[in-house]
Structure 1
Amino acid sequence: MENLDLFSPLAVSGEWLDIPDGKLFWAPNFISAIDADDYFHRLSAGLNWQQETIRMFGREVLQPRLQAWCGEAVYSYSGLTMYPAPWTPDLLAIKSACEQVCYCRFNSVLANLYRNGQDYMGWHQDNETELGPQPTIASVSLGEGRRFVLKHLASKQKVEFNLQSGSLLVMAGTTQQFWSHSVPKTQRFKNPRINLTYRTIC
């Protein structure tokens, strides 16, 4: 396994992107293809994946993906309270690399497992109070590539990324105040994908 430290070209190969009312960091080759594949297989087998129930529009529904919550803090959203499992060595290694890019410390990670193209993430903002007023969220993709879309709440401008295995997308600044984001479902055949979203619970 390579050492993703501050001086690794993979840790600094991306760039900060200024968008209206927000800030993004994009590194399509943050982790090498070989290491990303290794991480994907170990995390697929090693995390306690669950299909959780959340409250939407006054009723309880199963989320269209599997999740695991790890780290040091309890997290609540949409009527769901998640208690953390311990960090794994792989999650800590990736966390350290993300922290060196973002210049902040993350204390938790929400892992999402998209089993196929019908698993998705609906439009939402990561703006819960415990994330703070301007949260920095680092999203690492492993496995199958998926389309990721951001939409400005006022202007409806859209920004899209193809999140391939090993890529890193960071949402920072006022992004969560002014933009929503989603991983749309698709009719195309898709293999499983893991998305690690590192965050700080205040």
Structure 2
Amino acid sequence: MSKRTRAGAPKAAILAHQQESSPPSSSSTLATTKKKRPNLKSKQEHTFQPVTDPNFTSTYRVAGLHPRAQVFYCEAFVKPDLAREWRDRLLSEMEWYRPTLRVYGKDVTQSRQIAAYATTSDLKLTYSGHPVEMHHPFPPLLTQIATHLTQTLQIDFNHVMLNLYEDGSRYIGKHRDNKENLCIASLSLGVGRRWVMDRVRRKGFVVGAGDEGDGVVDRKEWTLADGSLLVMQGDTQELYTHEIPKEPKIKDLRISLTFRQLLNKE
């Protein structure tokens, strides 16, 4: 495992240009009512659930995707001032490090820094064949962010993976997440970056072809804005890959916080 490093001071945030494909959903800030503080502690017998709140699912569903792929996007989930505060504090307070990856039988150090947290010590995770350096419980800042998220979505998360994209040279390649994750929620803080979703092809055939109906596209892309929230559930991971490609012209940073529901299999 490579030596842990602290992220540097934040660069000035800029507004990313909009991509030619229009954003998939409304840019209005999601209104939330004051609700009971969620219990962020993980329990072995706990059964996680996807997002079902009709106020959220009807307002922020992304059009043009297979109906079994439930993807939601709220462009202004966090107000700009709060998004900037969270970004700056995360840079200085989180336990950032560069993980070791197994690539073609060799160990290499990833250029992109990550930080991983769980609510309890029994939750484990591997990353490209190596155990993730997991910290627990959530520190106060992550508890604050998770509470904001769960009060809106009305579901619990017990793990978060943070990724630091220091500029447009940092990226994440085309991939699919574990299908056991019933719901994945990703919060973006910092400069906007392109998000690309492509239909999965298997043996030359598009997975799910023939039952998607009209208006479904093979590729969907838009810019993940500062303070935006992306939620994936349903059969999204079966039907689509996703990636954040390189953008050499971007010189500012972005932090993503991807919240998941890990099951303890020990």
TM-score range with shorter-chain normalisation?
Answer: 0.7 to 0.9
Match in the other structure for 1:89: 140
Residues 115 and 14 (structure 1), Cα distance of their counterparts in 2 relative to 1, 3 Å cut: farther
Match in the other structure for 2:6: none
Whether 2:174 is the aligned partner of 1:112: answer no
Whether 2:102 is the aligned partner of 1:76: answer no
Q: CA deviation at 1:171?
A: 0.8
Of residues 247, 250, 258 in structure 2, which corresponds to 1:189?
250
Equivalent residues in 2 for 1:19-98, closer than 5 Å? 19-20=65-66, 21-72=68-119, 73-86=123-136, 87-98=138-149
In structure 1, how many angstroms separate the alpha carbons of the residues matched to 2:171 and 2:229? 18
In structure 2, how many angstroms separate the alpha carbons of the residues matched to 1:116 and 1:194? 10
Following TM superposition, the consecutive aligned residue runs of length 4 or more in structure 1 with deviations greater than 6 angstroms are none
Residues 108 and 145 (structure 1), Cα distance of their counterparts in 2 relative to 1, 3 Å cut: same
Residues 161 and 201 (structure 1), Cα distance of their counterparts in 2 relative to 1, 3 Å cut: same
Indicate if the aligned counterparts of 2:99 and 2:132 stay in contact, CA closer than 8 A.
no
Point out the structure with the larger helix share.
1
| Bigger Rg, which one | 2
**Structure 1: segments with no counterpart, 5+ residues:** none
In structure 2, how many angstroms separate the alpha carbons of the residues matched to 1:189 and 1:32? 22
In structure 2, how many angstroms separate the alpha carbons of the residues matched to 1:145 and 1:67? 18
Q: CA deviation at 1:5?
A: 8.3
In structure 1, how many angstroms separate the alpha carbons of the residues matched to 2:99 and 2:62? 33
Q: CA deviation at 1:82?
A: 1.2
Q: CA deviation at 1:179?
A: 1.1
Cα distance per residue 1:5-51 (max 9 Å; x no partner): 8417xx95951236213111110000000000000000000001111
Q: CA deviation at 1:136?
A: 0.7
In structure 2, how many angstroms separate the alpha carbons of the residues matched to 1:118 and 1:160? 19
Which AA in structure 2 matches 1:113? Answer: L
SS at match of 2:189: strand
Which AA in structure 2 matches 1:31? Answer: V
RMSD: 2.3
Query: TM-score, normalized by length of structure 2?
Result: 0.67
Q: CA deviation at 1:103?
A: 3.3
Residues 92 and 35 (structure 1), Cα distance of their counterparts in 2 relative to 1, 3 Å cut: same
Cα distance per residue 1:59-82 (max 9 Å; x no partner): 322223100001132111311211
Match in the other structure for 2:14: none
Indicate if the aligned counterparts of 2:99 and 2:113 stay in contact, CA closer than 8 A.
yes
SS at match of 1:17: coil
Match in the other structure for 2:175: 124
In structure 1, how many angstroms separate the alpha carbons of the residues matched to 2:147 and 2:194? 26
Match in the other structure for 2:151: 100
Which AA in structure 2 matches 1:188? Answer: K
**Structure 2: segments with no counterpart, 5+ residues:** 1-29, 35-54, 207-216
Match in the other structure for 1:137: 184
Indicate if the aligned counterparts of 1:68 and 1:111 stay in contact, CA closer than 8 A.
yes
In structure 1, how many angstroms separate the alpha carbons of the residues matched to 2:92 and 2:117? 15
Query: TM-score, normalized by length of structure 1?
Result: 0.87
